[in-house]
Amino acid sequence: MTNMIGCDVLVIGAGSGGLAAAKAAREHGAGSVVVLERNAYAGGILRQCIHDGFGLIRYGKILTGPEYAYKAYHEALRSGAEVLLGRHVANITPDRAVTLYSKGGIETYKAGAIVLATGCRERTRGAISIPGSRPAGIYTAGVAQRLINCQNILIGKRVVILGSGDIGMIMARRLKLEGISVVAVIEAMARPSGLARNVSQCLYDYGIPLYVNTTITEIIGKKRVEAVRIASVDERMKPIQGTESVLECDTLVLSVGLIPENEVALTCGVRVNDDNSVVTDDFLQTSVRGVFSCGNSRHIMDLADYVSEQGETAGGNAAKYILGQPLDAWDESRTSCMKKGFPDDNTVTCTICPSGCQIGWNRANDTFTGNRCPRGKLFARQEMTDPVRTVTTTVRIHNSNIETLVPVRSIKPVPKDEVINVVRSLNGICLDEMEDGDRIEVPLKCGGIAEMIADKEIKEC
């Protein structure tokens, strides 16, 4: 028989939402706060998201995914929350008893309140029923991202991406930077489903073709993907006969949507919608009293910053619930306020804040339209005359006969035309262990150098 361990607030999941919830619960008066995470590390999917764009709302600066995860993790620890890794939650009862498995055996917790922050999973080929055999070379975008960014595994040489979600577009850019040919991004809807800023900086920047109103009707190949057959679709998303064509490729990456992961939540009777998202009230409390939900397990969100904000509300309300205090309502407009689909014509998509303003510039009289702040003007002028980008990639590190990857980023943005040069230059090197703050200098073709840095905020998360 297992011992029952008591705690005030129990958080399930140590991604950005769960870590923020734990910190907020402590700050709002919860005495003991425990976070359970099934992986051997905290941070969730952020650890493999080596691109930048995180942290603008929460930290006021642009971070990579690993940097954001590091900050969130250590904020939770400094608050006094206990983060337990390698814990697989199996069951929750309506009175908030949680059974889990770990290397030490079975454990049971009894919580005053629970926050569900279990994230989401990717929709697979089986969910969209593409005809064809089952050859090698088919990956979801998240799996492809992990293989390339964390394990240095080449997934193919000619890739087609189905779906224009943000992960798919970000992976299109990443594949291109790694020297892989991205044949096309295929989207069944009339416009991309991801953010306009990613259409600009991931597809347009690198000349990657985007086919809208188009789908894949067949995967061709026996042992390995050899090609995909595509066709235009009508207003009912049905392929139009006579519009078929074939794209030769050896790899298919699927970016066809995310599903909130709530199987554990269902064990205690939490009500979910048809899309598996959780039904909550305005205070993020589920249909089971004392059980709260946040982040992508509640509803798919655009930014990790918003997930953290929602986690703070859920964690704070969990603490207030056990203390008998009034709960705070969540502002649903914080779920997403960014422009999706195609960027507006003759504009640039501003990326200095999450608003993603579509800014136009009349060169004749030097006037700007669409910007919500003065900084947008400066960004637009730079983007239209001398565009620059922060470079993020990985470097191989050889230590104690083990080769690992360390994410690195440029300290300062480099000219857009130099990004591929910098990434390819770093692909061919393998360094000894890097110390905190170590820098790698990469010569630029236009003159000067790009300084790449890896520090503890990246390596230790």
Q: Given its phi and psi angles, is residue 183 left (phi above 0), alpha (psi -120 to 50 degrees) or beta? A: alpha
Do 325 and 372 share a domain, yes or no?
Answer: no
Residue 10 sits in a domain whose CATH number is: 3.50.50.60
pTM: predicted TM-score of the whole model, two decimal places: 0.91
> Does any domain span residue 342?
no
pLDDT digit string (tens) for 31-47?
Answer: 999 999 999 999 999 99
- Enumerate residues 6+ apart whose C-beta is below 8 A from 98: 10, 12, 36, 89, 91, 92, 108, 109, 110, 111, 114
> Does any domain span residue 244?
yes
Average pLDDT, the chain: 91
| pLDDT-above-90 percentage for the chain | 70
> Does any domain span residue 419?
yes
pLDDT digit string (tens) for 321-349?
Answer: 999 999 999 988 776 667 788 988 888 88
Domains identified in the chain, total number:
4
What average pLDDT score do residues 93-111 get?
Answer: 94
Do 147 and 175 share a domain, yes or no?
Answer: yes
- The type of residue at 137 is G
Strand 392-399, strand 402-410: pairing: antiparallel
> Does any domain span residue 412?
yes
What average pLDDT score do residues 198-224 get?
Answer: 94
Last residue of a domain, one of 238, 254, 270: 254
pLDDT of residue 329: 96
pLDDT digit string (tens) for 381-423?
Answer: 998 889 999 999 998 887 656 667 888 999 999 999 999 999 9
pLDDT of residue 112: 97
- Enumerate residues 6+ apart whose C-beta is below 8 A from 444: 414, 415, 418, 421, 422, 450
62 band by pLDDT with thresholds 50, 70 and 90: confident
What average pLDDT score do residues 169-197 get?
Answer: 94
pLDDT of residue 400: 57
Q: Which domain holds residue 452?
A: 392-459
Do 69 and 158 share a domain, yes or no?
Answer: no
Distance from C-alpha of 122 to C-alpha of 127, rounded to nearest angstrom: 10
pLDDT of residue 429: 80
Residue 434 sits in a domain whose CATH number is: 3.10.530
Q: Is the pLDDT of residue 184 over 70?
A: yes
Q: Is the pLDDT of residue 455 over 70?
A: no
pLDDT digit string (tens) for 242-287?
Answer: 999 999 999 999 999 899 999 999 999 999 999 999 999 999 999 9
Instruction: Give the number of other CB atoms < 10 A from CB of residue 392.
Output: 24
436 band by pLDDT with thresholds 50, 70 and 90: low
Do 140 and 234 share a domain, yes or no?
Answer: yes
What average pLDDT score do residues 144-149 get?
Answer: 94
Report residue 71 as tokens. Answer: 């900050």
Q: Is the pLDDT of residue 461 over 60?
A: no
Do 313 and 326 share a domain, yes or no?
Answer: yes
Do 209 and 223 share a domain, yes or no?
Answer: yes
> Does any domain span residue 113?
yes
Lookup result for tokens 């170590």:
438
Do 267 and 372 share a domain, yes or no?
Answer: no
CB 155 within 8 A of CB 138: no
